[in-house]
C-alpha cells in the first residue's frame, strides 16, 4: 500500500486525477471502477479540465460504478447515475453505452446484481477502482459486518450512512433504505485500487482501516490485503496515520 499525502483537498484531487489519467493514457480502453460522494468530485473536475485542454480522451474508456440507491430513477437528482452524469460523464467524451451504474429501478434487484457481476466479468474485470471511504469504514455500500466474500448485492443501509446522506435529501425520511453495491469481492479483484480521503473527520477511520486489524467491522481494512492499493489523502485526513508511525509519500 502506497500512501500519498497532499497538502489540501485541491492537491489531493490533482494527484488522484493524475493517477487516473495515467491509466487512461496508457490503456485508453481501460475499465475504471468509479465512485460517487463528495471526495472524488475534485478529481473529476480536474480530469474534465484536462479533457477540455485536449490532454486526455475517454473515447474508448469503459466505466462501472460502485453503487446505486434502490428505488431512485437515473433522473432523480440524488441518484448516483445522475451524480455521475452531472459531475463527470456529461463533460467528457466517454460513450454513454460504455458507462455502467447499477439500475436503481430494476424490478428484480437481486437479478440486476447478478447481471452486474456478469457485466464486470464480460468487461474483463476492473483495471483501476476508485474508492472513497465512509466514516464507519464502508467502501461502496459495504457496511460494517457485511461478509467480505460478497459480489454485487442488495444492502440495507446503516443508520450512520442514512444520517450522513440525509444532507442531500429534503429530509432524512427521503433517504432510500436500500442500495445495490459491488461487494468487497468485486473491489478486491480490481487490478489496482485508488482510495481518496479528505478532511479531519476521516482521520480516525483512516487510521483504523489502514493500521488496525483486518475485520468486516471496518470494511476498508480488507484493502490492506490487496497487492496494489494507492491511498491519496490530504494532511487533515492522514495526520493520525502519520502520528501512528506510518510512512507517507510526499
In the beta sheet, which residues pair with residue 88? none
Shorter beta-carbon distance to ligand F6R: residue 60 or 105? 105
* E strand segments, the chain: 2-6, 31-34, 62-65, 67-69, 99-100, 128-131, 153-156, 178-181, 192-197, 229-234
Report residue 4 as a C-alpha cell: 500519498
Q: Which residue is nearest to ligand F6R (CB)?
A: 132
Residue 100 DSSP code? E
Q: Give the range of 14-22, 92-100, 134-142, 215-223 binding ligand F6R by CB under 6 A.
A: 134-142
Q: How far apart are CA 189 and CA 83, in angstroms?
A: 25
CA gyration radius, the chain: 17
Answer yes or no: 122 catalytic: no
Shorter beta-carbon distance to ligand F6R: residue 109 or 134? 134
Among 1, 18, 19, 37, binds ligand F6R (CB under 6 A): 37
Asked whether position 133 contacts ligand F6R by CB under 6 A, the answer is: yes
Q: How far is the CB of 133 from ligand F6R (least distance, A)?
A: 6
Asked whether position 59 contacts ligand F6R by CB under 6 A, the answer is: no
Report residue 202 as a C-alpha cell: 476521516
Among 62, 100, 138, 240, binds ligand F6R (CB under 6 A): 138
Asked whether position 35 contacts ligand F6R by CB under 6 A, the answer is: yes
Q: Give the range of 12-20, 104-112, 136-144, 212-220 binding ligand F6R by CB under 6 A.
A: 136-144
Q: Give the range of 131-139, 166-174, 186-194, 204-212 binding ligand F6R by CB under 6 A.
A: 131-139
Selected catalytic residue, list 138, 146, 153, 165? 138
Selected catalytic residue, list 23, 67, 165, 234? 67
Q: How far apart are CA 231 and CA 69, in angstroms?
A: 26
Report residue 18 as a C-alpha cell: 493524475
Answer yes or no: 75 catalytic: no
Are the beta carbons of 100 and 121 closer than 8 angstroms? no
Answer yes or no: 138 catalytic: yes
Give Cβ neighbours of residue 120 (< 8 Å, ≥ 6 apart): 31, 64, 126, 152, 182, 186
Are the beta carbons of 5 and 226 closer than 8 angstroms? no
Q: How far apart are CA 128 and CA 193, in angstroms?
A: 5
The enclosing H or E element of 68 equals strand 67-69
Shorter beta-carbon distance to ligand F6R: residue 39 or 99? 39
Report residue 34 as a C-alpha cell: 468509479
Name residues contacting ligand F6R, limited to 62-91 (CB under 6 A). Answer: 66-67
The residues that touch ligand F6R, with contacts defined as CB under 6 A, are 35-39, 66-67, 132-134, 138-141
Q: Which of the residues are catalytic?
A: 67, 136, 138, 143
Amino acid at each position: 500500500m502506497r500512501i500519498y499525502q497532499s497538502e489540501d483537498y485541491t492537491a489531493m484531487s490533482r494527484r488522484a486525477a493524475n493517477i487516473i489519467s495515467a491509466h487512461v493514457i496508457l490503456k485508453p480502453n481501460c475499465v475504471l471502477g468509479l465512485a460517487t460522494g463528495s471526495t472524488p468530485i475534485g478529481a473529476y473536475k480536474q480530469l474534465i479540465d484536462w479533457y477540455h485542454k485536449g490532454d486526455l480522451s475517454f473515447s474508448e474508456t469503459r466505466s462501472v460504478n460502485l453503487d446505486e440507491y434502490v428505488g431512485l430513477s437515473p433522473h432523480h437528482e440524488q441518484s448516483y447515475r445522475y451524480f455521475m452524469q452531472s459531475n463527470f460523464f456529461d463533460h467528457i467524451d466517454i460513450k454513454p453505452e460504455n458507462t455502467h451504474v447499477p439500475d436503481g429501478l430494476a424490478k428484480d434487484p437481486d437479478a440486476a446484481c447478478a447481471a452486474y457481476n456478469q457485466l464486470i466479468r464480460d468487461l474483463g474485470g476492473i483495471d483501476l477502482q476508485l474508492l472513497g471511504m465512509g466514516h464507519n469504514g464502508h467502501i461502496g455500500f459495504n457496511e460494517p459486518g457485511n461478509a467480505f466474500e460478497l459480489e454485487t448485492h442488495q444492502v440495507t443501509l446503516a443508520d450512520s450512512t442514512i444520517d450522513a446522506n440525509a444532507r442531500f435529501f429534503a429530509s432524512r425520511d427521503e433517504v432510500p433504505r436500500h442500495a445495490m453495491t459491488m461487494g468487497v469481492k468485486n473491489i478486491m479483484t480490481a487490478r489496482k485500487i485508488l482510495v481518496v480521503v479528505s478532511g479531519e473527520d476521516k482521520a480516525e477511520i483512516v487510521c483504523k482501516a489502514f493500521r488496525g486489524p483486518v475485520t468486516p467491522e471496518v470494511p476498508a481494512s480488507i484493502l490492506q490485503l490487496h497487492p496494489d492499493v494507492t491511498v491519496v489523502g490530504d494532511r487533515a485526513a492522514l495526520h493520525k496515520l502519520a502520528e501512528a508511525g506510518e510512512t507517507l509519500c510526499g
